Amino acid sequence: MGGSIKDRVAIVGMGCTKFGERWDASAEDLIVEAAYEAYEDAGIDPKDINAAWVGTLWGLTGMAASKPLKLNYIPITRVENGCATGSEAIRNAAYSIAAGINDIVLAIGFEKLKDQGYSGLDLPFTASAGGLMDDAAGIAPTTTAPAMFAVMATKYFERYGLSPEEGKRMLARISYKSHKNGALNPKAHFQKEITIEQAMNAPMISWPLGLFDCCGVSDGAAAAILVRADKAKDFRKDPMYLKALQISIGGENRLRDDYDYTHIEEIYQSGIAAYKEAGVTKPREEIGMAEVHDCFSITEAVFMEDLQFSPRGKVREDIESGFFDLDGGLPVQPDGGLKCFGHPIGASGIRMLYEMYAQLQGRAGKRQINNPKLGLTSNLGGEPPGCCISTFLVGGKLG
């Protein structure tokens, strides 16, 4: 493998809208809100921007950002990598700086989902549905997003001998923790605590996942201003340095009969690559906080094992002991996660970094983690297995 991104690029400004059912806000409103918060935070004028990457599931070209922001005659690229779209915008922006092509770059992600008239996610494509490359013939099984993650929960329970009650309780504890964190976050979609019993007894969405096992479907936008690491202090005293930017996409596990459906190999592989890039050898000890892709509670559980935070098959112990709570050994989803902060697809990867940024700068208020050290963000695009995983590492100090 070639070079490492470690300490070559920094984020010096960030913005994030309140996520949620933003009935009164258009996509334009969300983009302007996030971008101008980031401009102000970085102390830059929009004219200073050399290039931009915009992430959204729906859209046509970089005009998704140029039109609302009136960014004229600079290169803007629209990227899409499923639910890892926002992270992909960051990665491209960072690489253009590391390549020495650009000095100041905007990465922005957004989604306006709540105009569609129902909860859940419509997709702008039919390709690869249900594991088929070509589903123009329309034979993919009748599935929804929760269904394709629920099959992992069913298998996880079966493989590790959890009764439905034990399994549901483990998952409920994940959502309980995220709601507790989300209640401390004024920008979160859901800001109410729940009880474990509430989560366990909620209406069934896709067995064994109930309502509180599923993340919010939200409107929102998030933005970042990226610069060269050696110039970061010109913008602010407390920039956030990128330590690792990894993407791993699988090609065949869905079709292979040796895949176990209780882990996601792409998470494991992107974790290994990110740890190598940043020089991390003991992730459970060295990483101080994480925002991972908890689109469903089972996904977070699997992430904890694949990122090597918990041993295989043992995540339940860490979940139930509070290891991932805000005051635990490795706080996960300090901002409430997808579960409570919400999930406007294109914005989520950047929203995760927004929380890392606030925590590293000591601006996280009631959610502030004591000495967060290294932060990890990880997104999942598509459906397991064979999905698209981004794993990023960030820190407040060089070296």
Nearer to other proteins, 23 or 118 (CB): 118
CA atoms within 13 A of residue 16's CA, in its CB half-sphere: 28
Residue 83 falls in the annotated catalytic set: yes
The verdict on 259 binding other proteins (CB under 8 A) reads yes
The verdict on 119 binding other proteins (CB under 8 A) reads yes
The one among 150, 225, 280, 364 contacting other proteins by CB under 8 A: 150
Residue 343 falls in the annotated catalytic set: yes
CA 210/CA 317 separation, integer angstroms? 21
φ and ψ of 221, to 5 deg: -145, 150
The one among 257, 281, 327, 371 contacting other proteins by CB under 8 A: 257
Q: Which positions ≥6 away from 117 have C-beta within 8 Å?
A: none
- Closest to 339 in 3D by CA, of 169, 197, 153, 209: 209
CA atoms within 13 A of residue 79's CA, in its CB half-sphere: 24
Rg (CA), the chain: 20
Q: Which of residues 188-247 bind other proteins (CB under 8 A)?
A: 203-207, 209
Nearer to other proteins, 124 or 186 (CB): 124
Stretch that binds other proteins, among 86-94, 149-157, 269-277, 338-346 (CB under 8 A): 149-157
In contact, 9 and 98? CB cutoff 8 Å = yes
- Count residues binding other proteins (CB under 8 A): 44
DSSP letters along 365-392, please?
GGGPPSS--EEEEEEEESSSSS-EEEEE
The verdict on 249 binding other proteins (CB under 8 A) reads no
The verdict on 2 binding other proteins (CB under 8 A) reads no
Q: Which helix (H) or strand (E) holds 166?
A: helix 164-182
The verdict on 115 binding other proteins (CB under 8 A) reads no
Nearer to other proteins, 99 or 136 (CB): 136
The verdict on 154 binding other proteins (CB under 8 A) reads yes
- Closest to 381 in 3D by CA, of 18, 54, 57: 57
The one among 15, 82, 146, 283 contacting other proteins by CB under 8 A: 146
CB of 292 to other proteins, least distance (A): 22
Residues recognised as catalytic: 83, 343
Which residues bind to other proteins, rule: CB under 8 A? 116-120, 122-123, 126, 130-139, 141-144, 146-148, 150-152, 154-155, 158, 203-207, 209, 252, 254-257, 259, 261
